[in-house]
Each structure stands twice: as structure tokens, then as C-alpha cells.
Copies of this chain bind each other. A is one copy, B any other.
Amino acid sequence: MPEGKRAFEDFQAGDKRDFHTVTVSKADIIDFASDWDPQPMHLNEAAGEAGMLGGLTGSGWHMACLMMRGLCEGFLLNSLSQGSPGVKELNWQRPLRPGDTLTLSYEVLSARASASRPDIGIVLFHLAMTNQDGEVIMTMVSPIMFARRQATGADA
């Protein structure tokens, strides 16, 4: 990988990388749910036991936010990112549980220049969150826009 901030040119289809690891506590799960998703199964164990998933489980949006922060810390804050227009799909495959240690990884599905903005390229990522047992708990497909090094002259 070149030095300096990562630009569009640093991502190619087929690239795979583990970019972040994070451990989530029971307090983290309850704090997030209290702020953003106060459903009983995300707030207390008794309610969780009564539900489909068994026991206290984290909000799916907690997983998504952990992914966003992991992207920032893993490489986005040291890149020429120009943001994202959205998410193509987001799948919550297994529950997030207290004490889980999560590995965040990406595979680049495609990397193409923008038709309308020659200074920008669009990288389509398949993002996965895997727990300590090797189970994928969340996947996401999302495009992120990056400035092109050629166009900006950065690091060129």
C-alpha cells in the first residue's frame, strides 16, 4: 500500500482485508439500546430470554454503528473518502451478544470511476462482522466514494 492517505487508486476488485477488531460489553449493548433502539430484548436479559433470540442481544443498528466506527478507525480517517450515498443491503444474520469480540473485514466488489465526476471513484465494499466463534453476524454492501489521486495530485 502506498504511503499517505488512501485514494480511489488504492482499492481494486478482489482486495480483501481485516481492518478492525472490537470487544462489546453488556454495558455497551444497553447504552446503545437506551439511546437508539429501546426494545426490551436489547435492554434486559429477562426480556431477551422471553424472545426469539434468547438472552440479551445487541441492536442491529449497534452492529451497523460499530462497523462505521471500525471503518473510520481502520482506514477511512486516513483516506480521501468523500462519503457514501447509502447502503445496498444490510443483513443481521446472528445476534450480537455481551462479551463478543468482533473482527471487521472487507472485500472490494468493484472500483469504478464516476461517470459524472471525473475527480471521484466509487468503491463497492462487501463488509462483514465476524464473532470470536467464526460466525458472521452481519454483512453489508455499501459504496464509498474516494477522491482520485490523479485528479487531486495528492501523493502523486
Smallest beta-carbon distance A70→chain B, Å: 10
Judge whether B86 and A39 touch: CB under 8 Å.
no
Residues A84 and B69 in contact in the complex (CB < 8 Å), given A89-B89, A90-B90: no
Residues A69 and B37 in contact in the complex (CB < 8 Å), given A60-B86, A88-B89, A91-B86: yes
Q: Which residues of B contact A65 (CB under 8 A)?
A: 35-37, 61, 65
Q: Which residues of B contact A92 (CB under 8 A)?
A: 84-86
Q: Is A102 an interface residue (CB 8 A)?
A: no
Judge whether B52 and A82 touch: CB under 8 Å.
yes
| Chain A residues within 8 Å of chain B by Cβ, number | 31
Q: Which residues of B contact A72 (CB under 8 A)?
A: 37-39
Closest B residue by C-beta to A81? B39
Find residues 34-77 in chain A having any chain B CB closer than 8 Å to their own CB: 35-39, 41, 51-53, 59-61, 64-65, 68-69, 72, 76-77
Judge whether A38 and B89 touch: CB under 8 Å.
no
Judge whether B39 and A69 touch: CB under 8 Å.
no
Q: Is A87 an interface residue (CB 8 A)?
A: yes
- List 6 other contacts, CB 8 Å, given A37-B72, A38-B69: A36-B65, A37-B68, A53-B83, A60-B84, A87-B89, A89-B89
